[in-house]
Amino acid sequence: MRISFIGLGAMGYPMARHLSKAYEVVVWNRTPEKAARHAREHGTRHVHDLVQCADAEVIITMLPTSREVDEIVEQLVSSVKEGTLWIDATSGDPNVSRETAKRLAEHGVAFVDAPVTGAVVGAENATLTIMMGGDTADVDRAKEVLKSCGKTLIHVGPTGAGHAIKVLTNTIMGATVWITSECLLVAKRFGIDMKTALEVTNAGSGRSNASENLLPMRLRDHQWPLVFKLLHHDKDIRIASQLAHQQHAATPMLALTQHLFSAALNELGPEADYIEVAKIVAKMNDSSWD
Ligand code: NDP
């Protein structure tokens, strides 16, 4: 079976590598040098012309947002074969993906939204959690393909459901990172050392992925690696906020989280890591984590 993989970024590059062990994989990337390198390193086939990606049983997109996915769909839609399955692994917008699915369906192409969680390390180790939206038969086809990239594959609901739950869980994480940073900063200003504050937090009911895995390296050890762009995280929270708005839902915490992350993005810039929001928490208090 031939798979066309579009978007060899931090996540897509290792995902396409795993797929190439089981399938014939064609790769296309906006910056072609990355696709050429992928072909050299992993035996995939690099194509310069995007339209060549249409000749495949499965097309996978792993791009920043639904906007870029739409641009690719626009360029391929008249060339894709009937019966093709389009898997969008981007953390996209469920409203847009429903429109994309309808558009592709007019050409006999099935669509499954299949965003992932587990960070770059999960993509590298094929341990991602993949949440999928679409018809059962299409999702079953997608699962068969994506099982080489992930450990937990979950059919969440109809088209768009994967994208919806992805942005909502990332919003939970964002709010948790922010409030945990605020409380740890207060502890620090009270004179409690960071090692002890984290130890107690992680032994008690304030424990979370943020306090156990994300914050100690930054707040205690002063290492701030770029793991996931704040730009992408802000995008996810804004989509979650739009979903709430659309449903007339009363979600003040979600709205506040969205405003805080957008303010942090404006302050830190598009290349910042998402956990650097903790620096904004410190700055708002004329403090630092040093
Ligand atoms: P990157 O920024 O590393 O890669 C983005 C990819 O999209 C690159 O291949 C880039 O090409 C391509 N691209 C960007 N703009 C365009 C365009 N206009 N047309 C065509 N291709 C384009 O992103 P990630 O891999 O980190 O993230 C991809 C998706 O996965 C996002 O939706 C993100 O939210 C989600 N995600 C990311 C995680 C992470 O930890 N990084 C974890 C879970 C989900 P080029 O090489 O030319 O720049």
pLDDT in tens, 169-212: 999 999 999 999 999 999 999 999 999 999 999 999 999 999 99
Segment 112-133 mean pLDDT: 97
Cβ pair 211, 66 in contact under 8 A: no
β strands within the chain, DSSP E: 2-6, 24-28, 45-46, 58-61, 85-88, 110-113, 116-117, 128-133, 150-157
- CB of 66 closer than 6 angstroms to any ligand 1 atom: no
Q: Which residue pairs, CB below 8 angstroms and at least 24 apart, start in 38-43?
A: 38/8, 38/13, 41/17, 42/16, 42/17
Region for 134 from its dihedrals, namely left if φ exceeds 0, alpha if ψ lies in -120 to 50, beta otherwise: left
- CB of 240 closer than 6 angstroms to any ligand 1 atom: no
- CB of 104 closer than 6 angstroms to any ligand 1 atom: no
Query: What are 250-283's pLDDT values in tens digits?
Result: 999 999 999 999 999 999 999 999 999 999 999 9
Confidence (pLDDT) at 160: 98
| 180 CA to centre of ligand 1 in angstroms | 28
- Which of helix, strand or coil describes residue 277? helix
| 182 CA to centre of ligand 1 in angstroms | 30
- CB of 91 closer than 6 angstroms to any ligand 1 atom: yes
pLDDT above 70: percentage of residues in the chain: 100
Ligand 1, atom nearest to 8 Cα? 9
Closest CA to 156 of 127, 182, 136: 136
Confidence (pLDDT) at 116: 98
Q: Whose alpha carbon is nearest atom 11 of ligand 1?
A: 30
As annotated, the active-site residues are: 166
